[in-house]
Amino acid sequence: MFFNKTKPIVGRCETDMTTRLRLKYEPFYHVIESASGVNVTVAGRPMVLMSSNEYLGLSRHPKVVEAAKQALDQWGASACGSRLANGSRAYHIELEEALAAFLGKEACHVTAAGYLACTCSLSSLAQRGDAMIVDPSVHSSLWDGALLSGAKIERFAHNDMDSLAKLLGQLDAKQAKVIVVDGVYSMEGHLAPLPRLVELAGQHEAAVVVDEAHSIGILGRGGRGVCDHFGVTARVDMICGSFSKALAGTGGFVAASRAMIEYLRSNSRQIIFSAAISPAAAASARAALEIMQSEPERHDRLWANHRHLKTILQTSGLDFWDSPTPALPIVIGDKVKCYELWKSLWDQGFFTVMSLPPGVPPGKELLRCAVTALHTTDQLDRFGEALKAAMRQAGVRPKG
């Protein structure tokens, strides 16, 4: 009997209620068997993807695919090492220089994942005794970086600059401070109010870190992001983000002054001990960056589709948190109704993603929905009709 006892950690995994519910209702981890833009196949059934981060539709662009193939032929599949050791390659430097110039920063460092980039932007930037001042809605990668830093974490109300001002006024004026926000919050679709934020940061000598993952390619001149959109790039100390959204690849970046980037290269565990981004990933990101600037019509289609879907959500009486960006959440505020709405849309051939606590605050359960340049007007109209049917089936009443 002694040898049949379940180890506590193993038992916890075997009895976890969140996992049991996920496996019972299967709302996540659906396997897409084939994909062409937003047209996907799941379990042999064609569906329309309504939760894609591929805002500009570049992942299958011929130039992006060709760049990845050429990189594979020239460099192989991997650098097989960290950048600090033997993993630095010419293609890394070329991409970093292109990104730094595009974003208006002195220097840049690219990583194998956007999560790594955002985590490393904070994990060694602040130290014990410093204050890490965080909007509670920032991405989990930033939260992990903040926790790893050991700094004292302070929270201000989401996008509330009066709350931030009050908090800054209560902190020790001599304490080193970092303010952390998302440029575009992927769940809410909200923009960070950067003009007022950088003003407060300047008054209190606080560094500013902005995650541009969901705003690169979307906002600003030629898709330079929310910092450029508000004209505050020079007053933001560090910009981080991911290639897996508008740049339609994998990997991430941190851009800042040369001194800050070199500091991260000396001190960030995520950089020092992580394998370098692959040749194909780096090459495809660079190609996507160039196409993003040379084919502005994709940007135009994205915003036309955004306006169309926004109108559909408004006329349906759904709460989308007044999102001004292509991330358009459908806020239900009830876990059961959220699931039933998701299931009805799924059965009608529309792939969305549920976001439940702790991913969103209790009472703010939602379907994560996003529009891209690849969606057609017909697809959006059919999605609107499917939403109306799903609302009736789930008992979701129009607001107002």
> Of 278, 293, 308, which marks where a domain is finished?
293
184 and 164 inside one domain = yes
* Residue 181: closest CA among 168, 162, 194, 199: 194
Domain range for residue 219?
A: 62-293
72 and 213 inside one domain = yes
Query: Given this model, what pLDDT does residue 356 score?
Result: 86
214 and 302 inside one domain = no
Arithmetic mean of pLDDT, 232-253: 97
The span from the CA of 181 to the CA of 209, in Å, is 7
102 and 142 inside one domain = yes
The span from the CA of 92 to the CA of 277, in Å, is 8
Higher pLDDT pick, 327 / 6? 327
Query: Given this model, what pLDDT does residue 25 score?
Result: 83
Q: Which residues lie closer than 8 Å to 283 by C-beta, 6 or more apart?
A: 67, 68, 70, 71, 91
Tokens of 294: 């040379």
Residue 358 has pLDDT above 90, yes or no: no
> If pLDDT is split at 50, 70 and 90, which confidence band does 3 have?
low
> If pLDDT is split at 50, 70 and 90, which confidence band does 1 have?
low
The span from the CA of 357 to the CA of 253, in Å, is 28
* Residue 72 backbone zone (phi > 0: left; psi -120 to 50: alpha; other: beta): alpha
DSSP code, position 175: S
Arithmetic mean of pLDDT, 271-291: 97
C-beta of residue 256 within 8 angstroms of C-beta of residue 239: yes
pTM above 0.85, yes or no: yes
Arithmetic mean of pLDDT, 153-165: 98
- Only one residue has tokens 């974490």, namely 153
C-beta of residue 393 within 8 angstroms of C-beta of residue 344: yes
Query: Given this model, what pLDDT does residue 400 score?
Result: 67
The span from the CA of 235 to the CA of 241, in Å, is 17
Residue 77 falls inside a structural domain: yes
Catalytic residue annotation? 186, 214, 245
223 and 370 inside one domain = no
101 and 68 inside one domain = yes
Total domains in the fold of the chain: 2
What CATH number did the domain enclosing 266 receive? Answer: 3.40.640.10
